[in-house]
A = this chain, B = another copy of it.
Amino acid sequence: MLAQADQHHPDLGAAMEHLLYSGGKRIRPAVALLTGSMLGGDQKRLITLGASIELLHTATLVHDDLIDGSLLRRGITTLNAQWSPAATVLTGDFIFARAAKLAAETDSVPVMRLFAETLATIVNGEITQMFTSKGLASKEDYLQRIHAKTASMFELSTAAAALLSPVDEFLVEEVRLFGYDIGMAFQIVDDVLDFTGEQTTVGKPVGSDLRQGLITLPALYYFESNPDDPDVSWVLSGKAYSDERMNKLVSSIRNSEAIERSLDEARTYVDCGLEILSRMVACEERDALVDLANYIVRRSM
């Protein structure tokens, strides 16, 4: 990944180092490598795919942080906190270009198509979110949004890995669904952690999504069960922002059964994913994917 900035402007190399050394779980490439290895795919092409997917993910984060004006990610300053908007836009574009180049180096046209479709899905999701008025979203809207934002890239990780493996279309579809399931669970748990996490761990204030007007599953469930909570009517009315009321609402959600209900939903997705894995031939990589899927919900405890 780092080598992708070689022979280009040195500041691009510096940006790439900053972004890649800032951590991250690398869960998407791990999913791609394990899925492809489970299916007998070629290691070299799978590694290229993994790097391509992680860079695609990185590029979207660079533009997202710029758009949201986020100054910290994973406790480290974002690119836009140090660079001009112009340089940040271009650095994101450059990383997109290198991700696309690596995707092409898998030598698979179907992988390239899926890569390009996934990018369009992610961006379309962000635009839809941007142009949708804040306020009460339906659960359906929420699920669509987290599919575009997160699950689509997990689907890419598993389906593209399968496309690089000696398996038939049916299996490609099976592991694509597995990617969908763990991707949906991953984002739901992230949305729960936004309420239950410690500010020091998450790296942003508790309830930051809601504070920015973004209604996630725990909030949706809380609103549904507590229509008479005056803080709920207040937040949905879009009236003047009050830190005190917001802190109270975030704390109510954090201590409500909406958290457990959301985690149950995540567990259901993981269970569907595990069900798919159970139909695969037993091997070390399958066991590792089972662990990874379980880890996704365990993160929340």
| Interface residues of A, Cβ cutoff 8 Å to B | 8-9, 11-12, 63, 66-67, 85-87, 89-94, 96-98, 100-101, 103-105, 107-109, 112-113, 115-117, 119-120, 123-124, 126-128, 130-131
19 contacts between A and B (CB under 8 A): A8-B120, A63-B89, A63-B90, A66-B89, A87-B127, A90-B126, A92-B93, A94-B120, A94-B127, A96-B119, A97-B116, A97-B117, A98-B116, A100-B115, A100-B116, A101-B120, A103-B112, A104-B116, A107-B109
Given contact pairs A9-B127, A67-B89, A87-B127, a sample of 13 additional A-B residue pairs in the complex whose CB atoms are under 8 Å apart = A8-B124, A9-B124, A67-B90, A85-B85, A86-B130, A90-B126, A93-B119, A94-B123, A98-B120, A101-B117, A104-B109, A107-B109, A108-B109
Decide if A90 touches B8 in the complex (CB within 8 Å).
no
Indicate if the CB atoms of A104 and B93 lie closer than 8 Å: no
CB of A12 within 8 A of CB of B124, answer yes
Contact A124 B63 (CB under 8 A): no
Instruction: Give the most central of A94, A104, A105, A128: most B CB within 10 Å.
Output: A104
Interface of A is mostly: helix
Within the oligomer, what is the number of copies of this chain?
A: 2
Task: Give the complex CA separation of A100 and B124 in angstroms.
Answer: 15
What is the CA–CA distance of A117 and B115 in the complex, to the nearest angstrom? Answer: 16
Report B-chain residues with C-beta under 8 Å of the C-beta of A91: 127
For the complex, give the distance between the alpha carbons of A66 and B103 in Å: 28
Is A63 in contact with B93, judged by CB distance below 8 angstroms? Answer: yes
CB distance from A133 to the nearest CB of B (A): 13
Chain B neighbourhood of A131, CB < 8 A: 9, 11, 87
The answer, among B11, B67, B113, for a CB contact under 8 Å with A101, is B113
**Residues of B contacting A9 in the complex (Cβ-Cβ under 8 angstroms):** 124, 127-128, 131
Chain B contacts of A109 at CB under 8 A? 104, 107-109, 112
Return A62 CB to nearest CB of chain B, in Å. Answer: 10
How far in angstroms is the closest Cβ of chain B from A237?
Answer: 24
* Chain B positions within 8 Å of A98 at CB level: 116, 120
Most buried by B among A92, A117, A120, A130: A120
The 6 A-B residue pairs with the shortest CB-CB distance in the complex, in nearest-first order: A101-B116, A97-B119, A97-B120, A100-B116, A104-B112, A67-B86
